A and B are shown apart, each in its own frame.
Chain A
Amino acid sequence: MSLEEAKQAVVDDFAMFDEWLDKYEYIIGLGKNLEPFPEDKKTEDRLINGCQSRVWLDCRARDGKLWFTADSDAIITKGIISLLIGVYSGRPAKEIAGDDFAFVNVIGLSENLSPTRANGLSSMIATIKKIAGDYAG
């Protein structure tokens, strides 16, 4: 699936639900299905700054592509980071660094989070972009 297709798939999934409560149920499901994150990787340097709940993000590079894993102590936050890495993981650093992440606005995610969580979402995006930018050089 191309990046554009992956983003469109999320937009389509979200469009299936009218109610935000149901969209949250979907996000929570993503959080619950995220692959386990090793406890010893929950270190300060993997914490994303600016989130109220704690979010850890780890990245490995292989063949110029980036693979993300993540965890959070809040399940909705975990679902949100899962949604992001589901779209971006396994893609070239350059492609991630150059993307506008605008699909999160299309699905209306930030407006439907609390202001603190919306800041957290911005921080997650900024962190993913920064990591990708550093790898892309």
Chain B
Amino acid sequence: MTAEELRKQFPILSREVYGKPLIYLDNAATTQRSESVIRALSDSALLHNGNTHRAVYALAGEATRAYECARVDVRDFIDAASVDEIVFTSGTTASINLVAYSFGDKFIGSGDEIIVAESEHHSDIIPWQLLAQRKGAKIVVMPVEESGALDLEKLESLFNRRTKLVCVAHVSNVLGLINPIKEIASMAHSHGVPVLVDGAQAVAHLKVSVRDLDCDFYAFSGHKMYAATGTGVLYAKKEWLEQMPPFIGGGEMIDTVSWEGTTYAPIPFKFEAGTPNINSVPTFVPAIGLIRSLDGSEAAFGLDKIKNFVYNALSSDERIVLRGTTQNLDEKVPLFSFSVKGVHHEDLALLLDKQGVAVRSGHMCAQPLMTRYGVSGMVRASFAPYNTQEEAQAFILALDKSINMLK
């Protein structure tokens, strides 16, 4: 399958903005949805809508099956040991907050330390700050080097008796570099410390095996991997989920309830209180199907070529400061954040928009990292397999034109 063939499956990609073809390069914020995903969403509402896990009638059974099929596919997708380790949430943010509350409640106390990477998204910073405030715990920052790579030697020196958790993204949403999760997990485990991985930017691009990574928690969002919005996953090793107390109480997460006391449903249901996102969760199935169909495809190969082309174009332009640099592009996903000397990032994004090119600008929910690089924001272009070489070239031309206008 080529990028052109793949594009046909995404209706929105044929639309125009300001009379120009849309060039969508904000895939890291949210990917577009394929017809198969849109159909799964509408079928669920049109044909199979019933509440899950509760009633005996046909519709409820269909809805429950669709929901649980998604869980099986997600288990396979990230190579978890069991479906019991897959908790559906509303997104990465909700998944991380679940751990911060539930794991944090039980395992983190006054004076304990949580190591958080400097390059994290606010979703993987603020839940830990809130936890630290509740418990009197402390956040310890794992620094990034100038290139954006994590400083593993420094990390080793951060562990002590009070370290209780390491939090790090698989891929930073600003830098696009693939962090060495396996090494980090093995280092942390040698100190008896579990690791939480924010996989939001990884799942659309990397083949993830949580067993191979040996991480304890892995969080991601459906909408960044072609599935519907409001869907997310928390993977957690069974031994953690079984020890963790429920976070939100309500329907569906119980075994028996009485005024004397309540017993909880087994995992993962203990963590899925209330009516889940019954119409959207089934979209994981076509979304994962789509990602699988891209494996070894021409579109995937084309995306690698785009990555090389854009990386070289941006890093060889003296007006541009590219962040997240590496000698080996196999260690980077096609996501590029940069600044242009003497030009405000929002001005640049605005002129690109008027040429049909949608990019992100601003602090990108990573203010500590912006501070590290001494800027208030950057511009980010992030590519998906449905982007074409022509689009990449048009982006570089439009960027040049915009810089010339602003300088």
| Interface residues in chain A, defined as those with a beta carbon under 8 Å from any beta carbon in chain B | 19-21, 24-25, 28, 52-53, 73-77, 112-114, 116-117
- Picked from B344, B350, B355, B362, the residue with its CB within 8 Å of the CB of A113 is B350
**Secondary structure class of chain B's binding surface, majority of residues:** helix
Please tell me if the beta carbons of A75 and B344 are within 8 angstroms of each other in the complex: yes
Known: A75-B406, A114-B349. 15 other contacts (CB 8 A): A19-B18, A21-B351, A21-B355, A28-B405, A53-B346, A73-B344, A74-B346, A75-B344, A76-B344, A76-B346, A76-B347, A77-B344, A114-B346, A114-B350, A117-B350
**What chain A residues lie within 8 Å of B353 (beta carbons)?**
114
Please tell me if the beta carbons of A74 and B354 are within 8 angstroms of each other in the complex: no
Please tell me if the beta carbons of B346 and A24 are within 8 angstroms of each other in the complex: no
**A20-B406 contact in complex given A73-B344, A74-B344, C-beta closer than 8 Å:** no
**A75-B347 contact in complex given A24-B354, A25-B405, C-beta closer than 8 Å:** yes
**A75-B354 contact in complex given A20-B18, A24-B405, A28-B406, C-beta closer than 8 Å:** no
Chain B, residue nearest A76 (CB): B347
Please tell me if the beta carbons of A75 and B18 are within 8 angstroms of each other in the complex: no
Please tell me if the beta carbons of B405 and A117 are within 8 angstroms of each other in the complex: no
CB distance from A82 to the nearest CB of B (A): 14
CB distance from B209 to the nearest CB of A (A): 40
Please tell me if the beta carbons of B18 and A53 are within 8 angstroms of each other in the complex: no
Please tell me if the beta carbons of B351 and A24 are within 8 angstroms of each other in the complex: yes
CB distance from B405 to the nearest CB of A (A): 6
**What chain A residues lie within 8 Å of B350 (beta carbons)?**
24, 76, 113-114, 117
| Interface residues in chain B, defined as those with a beta carbon under 8 Å from any beta carbon in chain A | 18, 343-344, 346-347, 349-351, 353-355, 362, 405-406
**What chain B residues lie within 8 Å of A75 (beta carbons)?**
343-344, 347, 406
Report 21 cross-chain contacts, Cβ distance below 8 Å, ordered by A residue: A19-B18, A20-B354, A21-B351, A24-B350, A25-B405, A28-B405, A53-B344, A53-B346, A73-B344, A74-B346, A75-B343, A75-B344, A75-B406, A76-B344, A76-B346, A76-B347, A77-B347, A113-B350, A114-B350, A116-B346, A117-B346
Chain B, residue nearest A72 (CB): B344
Chain B, residue nearest A53 (CB): B344
CB distance from B344 to the nearest CB of A (A): 3
User: Which among B355, B362, B406 has the greatest number of chain A C-beta atoms within 10 A?
Assistant: B406
**What chain B residues lie within 8 Å of A25 (beta carbons)?**
405
Question: Roughly how many angstroms separate A20 CA and B362 CA in the complex, as a whole number?
Answer: 22
**A52-B346 contact in complex given A25-B405, A75-B406, C-beta closer than 8 Å:** yes
CB distance from A45 to the nearest CB of B (A): 21
CB distance from B53 to the nearest CB of A (A): 40
Question: Roughly how many angstroms separate A77 CA and B345 CA in the complex, as a whole number?
Answer: 12
User: Which among B347, B353, B355, B362 has the greatest number of chain A C-beta atoms within 10 A?
Assistant: B347
Question: Roughly how many angstroms separate A116 CA and B18 CA in the complex, as a whole number?
Answer: 19
Chain A, residue nearest B406 (CB): A75
**What chain B residues lie within 8 Å of A73 (beta carbons)?**
344
Question: Roughly how many angstroms separate A75 CA and B350 CA in the complex, as a whole number?
Answer: 11
**What chain B residues lie within 8 Å of A117 (beta carbons)?**
346, 350
**What chain B residues lie within 8 Å of A24 (beta carbons)?**
350-351, 354, 405
CB distance from B39 to the nearest CB of A (A): 31
Chain B, residue nearest A113 (CB): B350
**What chain B residues lie within 8 Å of A74 (beta carbons)?**
344, 346-347
**A21-B346 contact in complex given A28-B405, A75-B406, C-beta closer than 8 Å:** no
Chain B, residue nearest A22 (CB): B354
**What chain A residues lie within 8 Å of B405 (beta carbons)?**
24-25, 28
CB distance from B265 to the nearest CB of A (A): 43
Question: Roughly how many angstroms separate A112 CA and B351 CA in the complex, as a whole number?
Answer: 11
Question: Roughly how many angstroms separate A15 CA and B104 CA in the complex, as a whole number?
Answer: 60
**What chain A residues lie within 8 Å of B351 (beta carbons)?**
21, 24, 76
Chain A, residue nearest B407 (CB): A75
**What chain A residues lie within 8 Å of B344 (beta carbons)?**
53, 73-77
Question: Roughly how many angstroms separate A77 CA and B344 CA in the complex, as a whole number?
Answer: 10
CB distance from B17 to the nearest CB of A (A): 11
**What chain B residues lie within 8 Å of A76 (beta carbons)?**
344, 346-347, 350-351, 406
**What chain B residues lie within 8 Å of A21 (beta carbons)?**
351, 354-355
Question: Roughly how many angstroms separate A21 CA and B353 CA in the complex, as a whole number?
Answer: 9
Question: Roughly how many angstroms separate A116 CA and B406 CA in the complex, as a whole number?
Answer: 19
CB distance from B67 to the nearest CB of A (A): 35
User: Which among B349, B350, B351, B353 has the greatest number of chain A C-beta atoms within 10 A?
Assistant: B350
